[in-house]
Structures are given as structure tokens and as C-alpha cells.
Amino acid sequence: MSQTKDINFTQALNIRIETTKDNAISGEENNTVKATVLGPDGNGVANVMVDFTASSDITLTPASGMTNSSGEIFSSVTKSGSTGGKTTITATISGLAENDSLLVNFLTLREVNSVVAPGSYVFTSNKGFPTTGYSNARFQINASGNITSNTNYDWTSNETTSTSVDNEGNVTLIDSNVRNKLVKITARDNINAYRYEFKVTSWFISGSYRKFSDAEDYCSANGMVIPSRDQLTQGANIRGIGSLWSEWQKPTSWSSGDVNTAYWSNTQPSAMPGYRYMVNIVTGDGTAYKVSNGAYLEYVPCIQN
């Protein structure tokens, strides 16, 4: 008699499955499902073994386990490879036919199309822009190739204190804490996740007019040095990776008050040790030089590598 009651009881159990986390990036993140075992009275039943199953490219952790005191068991769902899509997860009461299934969704991870630097200069996604930075430097990501569709995505940054990103894909470098960190900007919809990664290795600040020796002291007091000419520019109106002007043009907050707008560099012309090249921060030209051991005053750039 007691056996018959047990069998009738177990056959009266129901199981329901739902997602508690969905739209994970395939090959990188996990979704989560929850199975709940319910008794005849509709309440959760503890200590019931539940088995989770899915296709071969899906890993379920745990794949089996006992329900908790609320009749629930959670399983983490990961998908191998970078290609997303929907997949079926089934939860079955172990030893019984009672089961329930649902679809979970994974996003396909893709590279962004390009990034747009100041001056509307376009860097392809594999160039590594930016490697230099300054406070409030800003660029825009073109996620899919149609920059007007940027507002269709949810944007996030893995470095929320030193960078920010808005709903149009505009990325702002907030402060020097971003230096040497791998920043990952992600734009998501329900199908794809577009990812852009960069690492700023050189951080710049500026100062007002100073003699070269005073400029050195100013940078030193900030834990920095005067940059070389190549760290400041690749040449007049030349865009590229690895120098401040070539990546950003004139930093938005830097002074450019006179016709020359010259900033000291620490690079000496050949066989002229008492001179230093200067960089026009508006044009990027770095061919002019001036006596550096005299009283000449120029703007001060400082770099932290």
C-alpha cells in the first residue's frame, strides 16, 4: 500500500523551466535556467533529482541535481564557439517522463566595423586605436557599418570608472586609470554582440607656457616626462597609430592661443644638443626647433608610459 502511494505521488509531480538570464554571448558568457518541481498542491518539492539536457555544443552546470527547499534547481548554460542562436534546454524529473523545455538565446560575437576619431578620421577595427589618451578624449564606434543604427544596441564597457560609452557608441576616456587596461566595449541586440577592444599605453596632460627646464620640472612633479617628437606626432596632417596628434589631432582641452601653438618635445635635432623640436598642436607639424636652454617659453606636454 505504501509503495502505491509513493508511485502515485511521484507521478503527480510537475516540472517547470524558465530562464533567469538570457542573451549571453556565445563562447564567452552563460545563460541561466531554473527548474521548479511542483507537488499536487502546487508547492515546490525539495530533494527531487532533476536532469538537464541539451545539444552537444551546450554545457550545463550542473547537468543533474537535487531541488532546494523551494523545489528549485538552477543550471548555468554555456555554448561553445562564437556563433550564437537559439537552443532547447530540457529539464526532466529523474526516473520519470515528466519534463519541460524552453529556448535560450545566445548572441554571435562579431568585430565592430570601424571607429571614428576626431576629424572624422576612420580607423579600421584592427588598427588598435587608441594607444594614446588624455582626459575626456572621445571617439565613436561604428558597430555594424551603419553608424545611424548605433542607438539600436545596448552599450557597455568593462571599465566603468575610467571610460564611459553612450547609446550612440561614443566612448570617452575619463582619466589615467584607463592606462594599460584592456577596455572592452560591447554593443548588443537580440542577435549579435559587437565588440571593440583597445589598450591605452600612453597618457598625456598639458601645461601652460614654460621654459624647457621648468617644463621638465612640471612633468616630473606629475610623475611624467616631456614626450619625444614621435610620441607627439607623425608629421604635419598625418594620421595614424602611436602618437598623440596622429591619433586625435589637437586634444580638445589643450591651449592653442598663438599662431605657432608650439609644444616642447624632448627630441633634439641632429648635432644640436641645445635645441629641441617643437610640435604645432593644431597641424601636427614637428619640423621647427628652438633653443631649449634659454628663456624661450612654449606650451608643455607631459607623457606617462
Q: Indicate which CATH number applies to the domain containing 119.
A: 2.60.40.1080
Q: How far apart are CA 73 and CA 69, in angstroms?
A: 10
Q: Which of 73, 108, 143 represents a domain boundary (last residue)?
A: 108
Block residue for cell numbers 576626431: 118
Q: For residue range 150-179, list pLDDT tens digits in order.
A: 999 999 999 999 999 999 999 999 999 999
Closest of 230, 40, 221 to residue 132, by C-alpha:
230
Q: Which of 149, 164, 199 represents a domain boundary (last residue)?
A: 199
Q: How far apart are CA 266 and CA 300, in angstroms?
A: 11
User: Are residue 13 and residue 104 in the same domain, yes or no?
Assistant: yes
Q: Which amino acid is at 260?
A: N
Closest of 160, 165, 161 to residue 140, by C-alpha:
165
Containing structural domain, residue 278 = 204-304
100's enclosing H/E stretch is strand 99-111
Q: For residue range 192-212, list pLDDT tens digits in order.
A: 999 999 999 999 999 999 999
User: Are residue 64 and residue 148 in the same domain, yes or no?
Assistant: no
User: Are residue 22 and residue 81 in the same domain, yes or no?
Assistant: yes
User: Are residue 220 and residue 234 in the same domain, yes or no?
Assistant: yes
User: Are residue 222 and residue 166 in the same domain, yes or no?
Assistant: no
User: Are residue 138 and residue 97 in the same domain, yes or no?
Assistant: no
pLDDT exceeds cutoff 70 at 3: no
Q: How far apart are CA 260 and CA 254, in angstroms?
A: 14
Grid cell for residue 125: 577595427
**Three-state DSSP class for residue 177:** helix
pLDDT exceeds cutoff 90 at 259: no
| Per-residue confidence band for 260, with pLDDT thresholds at 50, 70 and 90 | low
- Please name the residues in contact with 259: beta carbons below 8 A apart, sequence gap of 6 or more: none
Give me the percent of the chain exceeding a pLDDT of 90: 92
User: Are residue 116 and residue 103 in the same domain, yes or no?
Assistant: no
Q: Which of 150, 182, 199 represents a domain boundary (last residue)?
A: 199
User: Are residue 97 and residue 167 in the same domain, yes or no?
Assistant: no
Grid cell for residue 44: 515546490
pTM score of the predicted model: 0.88
User: Are residue 24 and residue 95 in the same domain, yes or no?
Assistant: yes
| Per-residue confidence band for 271, with pLDDT thresholds at 50, 70 and 90 | confident
Q: For residue range 71-128, list pLDDT tens digits in order.
A: 999 999 999 999 999 999 999 999 999 999 999 999 999 999 999 999 999 999 999 9
Number of domain units in the chain: 3
Helices (H), the chain: 2-11, 212-221, 229-232, 244-248
User: Are residue 121 and residue 86 in the same domain, yes or no?
Assistant: no
User: Are residue 193 and residue 230 in the same domain, yes or no?
Assistant: no
